[in-house]
Structure 1
């Protein structure tokens, strides 16, 4: 069910939500958090809502979308309420702000927050330089950005380093979960030797490649080279150097990687780029600070930039 409320107020939106709940129980109260999505008023609105709806099946929540419209227009708030099949396991409130109201997203959000429930802010793209100091970020227990979706991913990632505050995270980091799990599991197998150095290869504009290199530098306390790959976005390979032989993961096609290590047969491992909905679902599982992500950001300065790598067979077709 989709209900449009043109030229409205947040008070009228709240009143309509109460009417829906009282008339048919269309809006359930079992919400565990409020997810605030801050975006422009373009096509990415529907993509973000769909990802939030998918994530809400594990985390029932109230989704508030703050979509900024034309700032040259007269001040106006257009709202839309989605419940039932159009909202997954959540209730979705879309606020389109025009004119001077376009800069007042936080004031429009506050009256609609669920009482006594955590608040998570998500910028699908174009996040503020300091999310924690943003008016909506300041309301939130957790702040989710995505450096890979910004115009200059590497510059965006550097901003995350400079502005980090407890509760910050980035989907470029979340996309590394599978890579980190495979590498950690490989080191648990014999021979149990210390890793002396590592090399991570990926596209020049891949923040996930930078974060994987920084994580290895921080986690293992070793020098790590970050090498640019000439084709395709995302991570192409990771090599851990040990005295008896290297541990290598090579993913030339952006989907399936090959794990090679001494004394073990080569193994194919699934390393397909994770969908936004899967990354968002993972991030909503925790509301406490991510100390490993913080340490990884601090380790970015320890990465040694290497020469561009020669092409491997195929190309990395997907992000992390």
Structure 2
């Protein structure tokens, strides 16, 4: 791994140094498929960079990490360039000072890979309307994480009003295995669903999103109930003909699918790391209309 520090620098000097380092290592930029812009703070940057570099093993990327530092200092841009750090792409950690913190887009724009998609990710606090943020406006996809804020459910509900195609949240990606398993449960006829309940640890942002998706898809009311966790623990669907179809998970690794009149079935349903969630989201760069519908349904339920 090659690392190079630039203090009180410019975007032009950073770009020139990246070119020099690539030639030095014999690692051209050809093959990188996107630019991932990570907007974070100093406290969370280590975990964010690690997750981004792990995701980049599947999606070779130029990773631009934007960290806003002290606003009352003189304008300054410091950069740390890393090439070959367990990823086929590049990592550029940008620390902005002074008034430059309000113009991060002017620093990021010259460093975007030409003719490739741009994805923006806020691992912690994120703009209320990501698409109207200067960094978000540069991106085709905008990733937030409701789990990282104190009231993730309220945050998700509020984002419905400012939703723009390309927005998504890692709370939705956490539901992919649950949604796949529930969809597979309908491979055999189960009859009409009367109602349902999603059980999860209190405050889990994914739970009401899953309930909203199920309500939207099945046309039956689903509510959320608290459990001891961790995370999502069960989904119970009441059948109109009697009985329940249940997916229950108690150890964050395995789930049990319970259907009336059939033997219980054990399936893998492990909780996933942030890098896996991020890699999943980077696989699709088109708008997620199913997420949009679930988000709007969640907002209506939350207001009610």
TM-score of the pair, normalised by structure 2? 0.94
Map 1:47-62 → 2, pairs under 5 A: 47-62=47-62
Q: Cα RMSD (Å) of the superposition?
A: 1.6
SS at match of 1:7: coil
Give the secondary-structure state (helix, strand or coil) at the position aligned to 2:264.
strand
User: How far 1:228 moved relative to its partner?
Assistant: 2.2
Taking the TM superposition and a 5 Å limit, the aligned residue runs for 1:219-230 are 219-229=217-227
Equivalence for 2:5: 4
Please, which moves more after superposition, 30-39 or 16-25? 16-25
- Do the aligned residues in 2 keep the contact of 1:27 with 1:91 (CA within 8 Å)? no
Contact kept, 8 Å, 2:196 with 2:237, in 1: the verdict is: yes
Change (3 A) 1:27 1:5: farther
1:237 aligns with 2:234: yes
Aligned to 1:25: 26
Q: Where do residues 35-54 of structure 1 align in structure 2 (5 Å cutoff)?
A: 35-42=36-43, 44-54=44-54
Alignment check: 8 A CA contact 2:64 2:91 kept: yes
Aligned residues of 1:224 and 1:302 also touching (Cα < 8 A): no
Alpha-carbon offset, residue 103 of structure 1: 1.7
After TM superposition, list the pairs within 5 Å mapping 1:245-260 onto structure 2. 245-260=243-258
- Structure 2: give runs of 5+ residues left out of the alignment: none
How far has the Cα of 1:23 moved from its partner? 3.0
Residues 89-238 of structure 1 aligned to structure 2 (within 5 Å): 89-190=88-189, 192-229=190-227, 231-238=228-235
SS of residue paired to 1:196: strand
Shift, 1:87, TM fit: 4.9
d(CA) in 2 for partners of 1:257, 1:50: 29
Structure 2: distance between partners of 1:304 and 1:266: 34
Whether the 8 Å contact between 2:208 and 2:223 is mirrored in structure 1 is no
- Distance change in 2, residues 1:36/1:304 (3 Å): closer
TM-score by length of 1: 0.90
- Are residues 247 and 302 of structure 1, via their aligned partners in 2, closer, same or farther at CA, if it must alter by over 3 Å? farther
The list of structure 1 runs, each at least 4 consecutive aligned residues, that deviate by more than 4 angstroms after superposition, is: 301-305
Q: Quote the Cα distance in structure 1 between the aligned partners of 2:152 and 2:205.
A: 6
> Separation in 2 of the partners of 1:182 and 1:218?
17
Partner residue in 1 for 2:287: 289
2: CA distance, partners of 1:105 / 1:301: 31
Q: How many pairs does the alignment contain? A: 301
- Structure 1 unaligned segments of length 5 or more: list them: 306-320
1:313 maps to none
Give the Cα–Cα distance (whole angstroms) in 1 for the partners of residues 302 and 83 of structure 2: 50
Q: Following TM superposition, by how much is the alpha carbon of 1:118 offset from its aligned partner in structure 2, in angstroms?
A: 0.7
Matched, 1:14 2:12: no
Please report how far the alpha carbon of residue 151 of structure 1 lies from its aligned counterpart in structure 2 after TM superposition: 2.3
1:270 to 261, 264, 268: 268
Question: Which digits, 9 at most, give the CA deviation of each residue in 1:97-144, with x for residues without a partner?
Answer: 012112211111001011111100000010110000000001100000
The CA distance in 1 between the partners of 2:143 and 2:161, in whole Å, is 16
Deviation at 1:303, TM superposition (A): 4.4
Q: Is the 1:224–1:303 Cα contact (8 Å) retained in structure 2? A: no
Q: Which moved more, 1:198-207 or 1:171-180?
A: 198-207
Q: Is the 8 A contact 1:32 1:118 kept in 2?
A: yes
**Structure 2: distance between partners of 1:103 and 1:39:** 14
Secondary structure, aligned partner of 1:62: strand
Cα deviation, residue 72, structure 1: 2.1
1:227-254 CA distances to partner (integer Å, 9 max, x unpaired)?
A: 122x345212100111142111122233
SS of 2:78 mapped into structure 1: strand
